[in-house]
Structure 1
Amino acid sequence: MQTTNRRKRITAAFAGLVFGLAWVVYAPTASAGEGKPAASAAQGTHCVISVTTKAVDCFATITESIAFATGGRVTDAPSDVLTAVKDPDVTARINGGGPGALAVIGIQYYLANYGSHSLTVNGPDVGCDGPVDPPEYFVAPLPNFVPSGGINWNNNIRSFQGYSGCWQALFDDPGCTVRIYPTIPPWWGPFAADLGVANDRAECIYWS
């Protein structure tokens, strides 16, 4: 699918919400966030979606979103997004917490190199079986918060990190039929700092 028109539509939707809203202003580097619209402070930009209930909760910081996604098991994740991703201790504790616990399956990022806003996906701690079919989980379409001043996560993912042994695949349509990442064997990825030609195209995610 072409992303240029979509990005224009998203930008127009944000512009219509300017009146009465406070805006978060940031200046991403050209390589990481060129063409990305700013996100509104009216909607928390670190969100959590459940693969089982599809319920979504949003927060102002990734520290809060990870605490919620892990059921309170990890409450001290760094508030800086990149630091949180790169900290091996945080990563180890985010991974599944045992029977009955909530497990983080993956975190999607608005910019390349795990930058800016995040969408954390969680579910029951049953884990994944690695890069093989069939998938254990999926989310489609992705959450759209433009009407409330936030982000439409459809066509707005540029990097991701998998957790709890889960690998993911991205698709260019909500029907999950057009795989855009990875496009070579093993057809699943544990993480990606930059999706390249698949940037800003995902509307469906599978995890295995």
Structure 2
Amino acid sequence: MLTLYSSDASPFARMVRVCLHETGLGAKTEIRNVKSTPMEPDTGLAAANPIGKLPALARDEGPAIYDSRVICRYLDARCGAGLYPESRLWEVLTLEALAHGIAEAALAMTYEVRLRPEDKVHEPWREAQWAKIARALDALEERWTSLLKGRVTMAQVALGCALGYLDLRLADRDWRAGHPQLAEWQSAFAQRPSMTETAPA
């Protein structure tokens, strides 16, 4: 039995939950939702992952593993789902990393206003994080959309979750403006059962 330490709002935990659906391992995994921040880490999560970050996956056959990219590779290898195809491996891993970068920058923007006192929020820092996201969106629109076609890979899963997090936390930034191909792809990909069933409430 597997136990996933997760949170509905976390884009990284969602990537794993989508992966569980896509690999068919969801029925063999207990989802343990926790509330955890850098300021107040969940004790169970911290015991599984000493860094205290979501997600973490507890296994019967060894110590818990983390972070989301490690967990998704593990799940894919465990059932041979082909989410990391050898023929496109480096492109898939690069796009997966880009999606993680978008989510990390968006989370930093969110934490800046949620965890700091209002008078200590540093807007230049938030804008610098958005600049990373904007560059990534431009790169996706200009040269990566062809990789988003065809059989589902973890690149698509990670990107779908990262864009979903932008909608959840930074909707006022309107990431779709100037990115019509990416917006069209995201709209279709968001209808997959694995995405609708893991969408944050």
| TM-score normalised by the chain length of structure 1 | 0.28
Higher relative contact order (CA 8 A, sep 6+): 2
Higher helix share: 2
